[in-house]
């Protein structure tokens, strides 16, 4: 069995493979209108456009073309094997090659949409469902499918000129200061929270969201809680903080190599600058961008967007966001830049894998290997 890259001359062959597979296999799993939806979705026009922009493979056994699959960035798409040749290893061969290409390009994850017939196969290959999707067809039938992702250690390496760092959980360990400030704020509402570990969940997200989600505060109560939080944090909590080992050395090395560094945090800018200055690492950053004390610009995508407007680079491929929570990864995706999830902070492996960063690292040493 041989694989070769498809060209515009292969568009009809690709559609033939897709249509035969859908027509013969999908009626066992889907109602008629859903089958028709798939047929219309994989039209000749859509396949022609895909061949122009995607990495499209065809699988050949002798003179017979029996399967196809494609890759766009790190997304695997349109994997089909003719019914008579299924369970022959063709699908696995196509997926192996597409995953290898994504990994070589530096991605830490491949993603795909799984039909019912292929779901168990993807599970065996190490894919995990990350989102359950539904589409309503014209005749009101429901198409359900899973968005799935597979994480692996990316072997490729990209060169980044501009690096955005989250602060809490990425550059410093703020556990003591943040949890004590939250404890102080809750006490003003008569809530006696003695277990500081239970307040770790406040590290990362905007405070307003956390007070509403975890304690049911309305907007007015959350605003009061934030004011009380800042009473403690501005005086004591700022400095109840620790710089992660080897971070200062990493920043110094990146600066020496001509990298442009920013801090992009949901913490108010004024507090972030004081913390960085306290640890004598403020000098390494071109700018520190955080939220405003009036509660604006707290969403991570807004912070990243503000930084990008400062940078004004022609290619987003040379910019990366480094952070320990899903908000950092999601914000980077929304702004179209790469991301690195760090597991030494406060985001769990499960949380970060579901967010699908470009890279996932478990140590500052591994982070250095990517950035330097």
Q: Which residues contact 332 (CB under 8 A, 6 or more apart)?
A: 164, 304, 320, 321, 323, 338, 339, 357
Residue entry with tokens 């209108």: 33
Q: Among this protein's residues, is 294 annotated catalytic? A: no
Specify the pairing of strand 55-61 against strand 64-72. Answer: antiparallel
Contact 172, 279 (CB under 8 A): yes
The rounded distance, in Å, linking the Cα atoms of 125 and 311 is 40
Burial of 77 (0-12, 13-18, 19+ CB in 10 A): middle
The rounded distance, in Å, linking the Cα atoms of 359 and 337 is 12
User: What is the separation of C-alpha 250 from the centre of its chain, rounded to a whole number of angstroms?
Assistant: 23
Active-site residue, selected from the candidate residues 16, 45, 166, 195: 166
Contact 162, 260 (CB under 8 A): yes
* Residues that are catalytic: 166
């Amino acid at each position: 069995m041989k694989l070769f890259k498809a060209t515009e001359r292969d568009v009809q062959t690709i559609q033939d493979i897709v249509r035969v597979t859908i027509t013969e296999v999908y009626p066992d799993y889907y109602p008629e209108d859903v089958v028709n939806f798939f047929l219309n979705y994989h039209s000749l026009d859509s396949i022609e456009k895909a061949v122009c922009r995607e990495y499209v493979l065809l699988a050949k056994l002798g003179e017979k073309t029996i399967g196809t699959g494609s890759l766009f960035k790190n997304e695997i798409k349109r994997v089909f094997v003719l019914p008579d040749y299924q369970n022959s290893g063709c699908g696995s061969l196509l997926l192996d090659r597409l995953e290898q290409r994504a990994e070589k390009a530096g991605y830490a994850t491949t993603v795909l949409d799984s039909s019912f017939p292929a779901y168990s196969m993807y599970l065996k290959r190490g894919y995990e469902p990350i989102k359950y999707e539904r589409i309503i067809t014209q005749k009101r039938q429901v198409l359900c499918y899973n968005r799935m992702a597979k994480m692996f250690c990316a072997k490729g390496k990209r060169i980044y000129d501009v690096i955005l760092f989250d602060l809490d959980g990425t550059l410093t360990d703020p556990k003591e200061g943040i949890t004590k400030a939250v404890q102080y704020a809750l006490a003003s509402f008569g809530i006696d929270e003695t277990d500081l570990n239970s307040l770790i969940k406040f590290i990362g997200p905007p405070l307003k969201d956390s007070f509403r989600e975890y304690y049911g505060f309305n907007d007015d109560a959350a605003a009061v809680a934030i004011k009380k939080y800042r009473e403690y944090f501005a005086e004591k909590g700022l400095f109840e903080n620790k710089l992660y080992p080897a971070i200062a050395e990493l920043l110094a090395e990146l600066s020496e190599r001509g990298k442009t560094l920013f801090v992009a945090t949901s913490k108010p800018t004024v507090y972030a600058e004081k913390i960085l200055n306290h640890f004598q690492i403020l000098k390494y950053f071109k700018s520190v961008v955080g939220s405003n004390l009036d509660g604006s610009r707290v969403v991570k995508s807004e912070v990243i967007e503000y930084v990008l407007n400062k940078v004004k680079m022609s290619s987003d491929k040379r910019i990366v966001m480094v952070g320990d929570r899903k908000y950092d990864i999601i914000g980077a995706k929304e702004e179209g830049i790469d991301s690195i999830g760090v597991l030494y902070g406060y985001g769990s492996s499960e949380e970060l894998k579901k967010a699908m960063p470009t890279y996932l690292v478990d140590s500052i040493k591994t982070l250095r290997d990517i950035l330097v």
